[in-house]
Amino acid sequence: MKEIDLKIASVTRLISVETLDSTQNLARELAQQNTPDGTLVLAYEQTGGRGQYERSWDAKRGGIYFTLVLRPEKSVRHTGALSLRTAQAVCETLQKMFGFKTKIKHPNDVLVWEEKTKTWKKICGILIESSTEADHTQWLLIGVGINVNNPLAASLKDSATSVKKLLGREMDPEWILQETLEAFFAQYAQWQLSSQI
């Protein structure tokens, strides 16, 4: 494990691992073992990263890969909106930090405008899983992968990009992680207070 200096009050437990098959897999195991609300599983590289519909997610060292374990007191029917709110948090972070033009590709991708090629490219993927009983949410997993300094597979050059590729220099992933979590928990607080979404 690697120690990082994370200043997010809503993160109650931090598990930081150099290399992991998938933060989502470990987070699910921890959720089933009653890890507290606000547990954050962070990896610097994933060897078996995945997205929606079990699609593989290229997750080499240099990116941000994390899963949050949450235990909201909300009806199951409201959890679908969290994918959009998570994507909004990532968009806000990238716009604020770097001035990127972003948009959400439903249901779970964040795209950025690459001026050089005049195309929208994927920079972030989101995966949400949950365990429910009747109408009650036992736990939620919010998985996020953001391309920062990580190299991209050649097969993705026309569809994906990274912060480094867009800026032409490396950025501190932990700084971006901090800002992303702050934006997410602001969205999460609004969601918890809402009666509809």
54 vs 194 pLDDT, higher one:
194
**Amino acid identity of 182?**
E
Average pLDDT value for residue range 119-129: 95
Report if pTM > 0.75. Answer: yes
Please give the pLDDT value at position 1: 40
Return d(Cα 167, Cα 33) in angstroms, integer: 41
Q: What is the 3-state secondary structure (H, E, C) of the chain?
A: CCCCCCCCCCCCEEEEEEEECCHHHHHHHHHHCCCCCCEEEEEEEECCCECHHHCECCCCCCCEEEEEEECCCCEHHHCCHHHHHHHHHHHHHHHHHHCCCEEEECCCEEEEEECCCCEEEEEEEEEEEEEEECCEEEEEEEEEEECCCCCCCHHHCCCECCHHHHHCCCCCHHHHHHHHHHHHHHHHHHHHHCCCC
18-22, 90-94, 166-170: which has the minimum mean pLDDT? 18-22
Sorted by where each begins, the domain ranges of the chain are: 13-193
Please give the pLDDT value at position 35: 96
91-114 pLDDT, tens digit per residue, is 999 999 999 999 999 878 999 999
Please give the pLDDT value at position 195: 58
Question: What CATH number matches the domain at 13-193, 3.30.930.10, 3.40.50.2000, 1.10.10.10, 3.40.1410.10?
Answer: 3.30.930.10
Average pLDDT value for residue range 36-41: 96
